[in-house]
């Protein structure tokens, strides 16, 4: 999302853009994502999330724990090493909340995704069908402004394709082939 925002303001300074598990750009897609997460969440997890503030008074600790607890809602068949990789992530609470609030504000003001029409770079969106971010809905919201958007989706794949058992190798192969093709076409 931030790469698109940057490219919209500085289109001449960016090359090919790859969106992996891209975020939502409208309230309908965000509602679908929340519903998907809610459908996957059991009572025990819901209870733990509801009580994070009591267990972790620090908001950064809450965000870190929330991410660790909900990671499984975003993955289909994670490669263990990749899943553990994010376990110790720390969140910059201010940067995270201000950046997201600004993104939503600009969407509500009609700036995004309309501003993305200024982007001339090739854009590839890589997405897993198990990702709670609704890939087809996100693609549909972007294509009116990014007609050059290419879309590749994998079955049996969640939010982080590089860490998914069934698509890890194919993810890197598709990414490599697309970037190689874009680099070659920009030289020629």
Give the three-class secondary structure for 127.
Answer: strand
**pLDDT tens for residues 43-77?**
999 999 999 999 999 988 999 899 999 999 999 99
* Mean predicted lDDT score pLDDT of the chain: 93
**Confidence class for position 82, pLDDT limits 50, 70, 90:** very low
Number of domains in the chain: 1
**Confidence class for position 83, pLDDT limits 50, 70, 90:** very low
Alpha helices for 41-167 (secondary structure H): 43-50, 52-55, 59-74, 80-85, 93-108, 135-142
Instruction: Give mean pLDDT, residues 65-92.
Output: 77
Entry field: residues in the chain: 188
Residue 134 near residue 37, CB atoms below 8 Å: no
At residue 86, the pLDDT reads 46
**pLDDT tens for residues 9-19?**
999 999 999 99
**pLDDT tens for residues 136-180?**
999 999 999 999 999 999 999 999 999 999 999 999 999 999 999
The CATH number of the domain holding residue 176 is 3.40.50.1820
107 phi and psi, to 5 degrees?
-65, -45
Q: Residue 16: which domain range?
A: 2-187
Can you read off the two tokens belonging to residue 10? 């500085």
Percent of the chain beyond pLDDT 90?
83
How far apart are alpha carbons 127 and 18 in whole angstroms?
11
Note the pTM of the prediction, 2 decimals: 0.90
Contacts (Cβ under 8 Å, ≥6 apart) of 89: 64, 67, 68
Q: How many CB atoms lie within 10 A of CB 169?
A: 10
At residue 155, the pLDDT reads 97
How far apart are alpha carbons 167 and 94 in whole angstroms?
34
Residue 18 near residue 133, CB atoms below 8 Å: no
Can you read off the two tokens belonging to residue 36? 């998907």
**pLDDT tens for residues 116-139?**
999 999 999 999 999 999 999 999
**Confidence class for position 24, pLDDT limits 50, 70, 90:** very high
């Amino acid at each position: 999302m931030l790469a698109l925002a940057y490219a919209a303001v500085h289109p001449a300074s960016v090359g090919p853009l790859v969106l992996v598990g891209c975020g939502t750009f409208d309230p309908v897609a965000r509602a679908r994502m929340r519903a998907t997460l809610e459908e996957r969440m059991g009572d025990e997890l819901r209870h733990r999330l509801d009580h994070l503030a009591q267990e972790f008074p620090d908001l950064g600790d809450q965000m870190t724990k929330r991410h660790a607890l909900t990671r499984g809602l975003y993955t289909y068949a994670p490669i263990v090493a990749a899943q553990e990789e994010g376990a110790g992530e720390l969140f910059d609470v201010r940067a995270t909340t201000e950046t997201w609030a600004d993104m939503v504000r600009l969407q509500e003001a009609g700036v995004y995704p309309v501003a993305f029409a200024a982007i001339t770079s090739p854009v590839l969106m890589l997405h897993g069908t198990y990702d709670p971010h609704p890939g087809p809905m996100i693609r549909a919201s972007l294509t009116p402004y990014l007609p050059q958007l290419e879309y590749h989706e994998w079955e049996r794949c969640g939010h982080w394709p590089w860490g998914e058992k069934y698509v890890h190798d194919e993810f890197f192969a598709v990414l490599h082939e697309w970037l190689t093709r874009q680099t070659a076409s920009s030289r020629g």
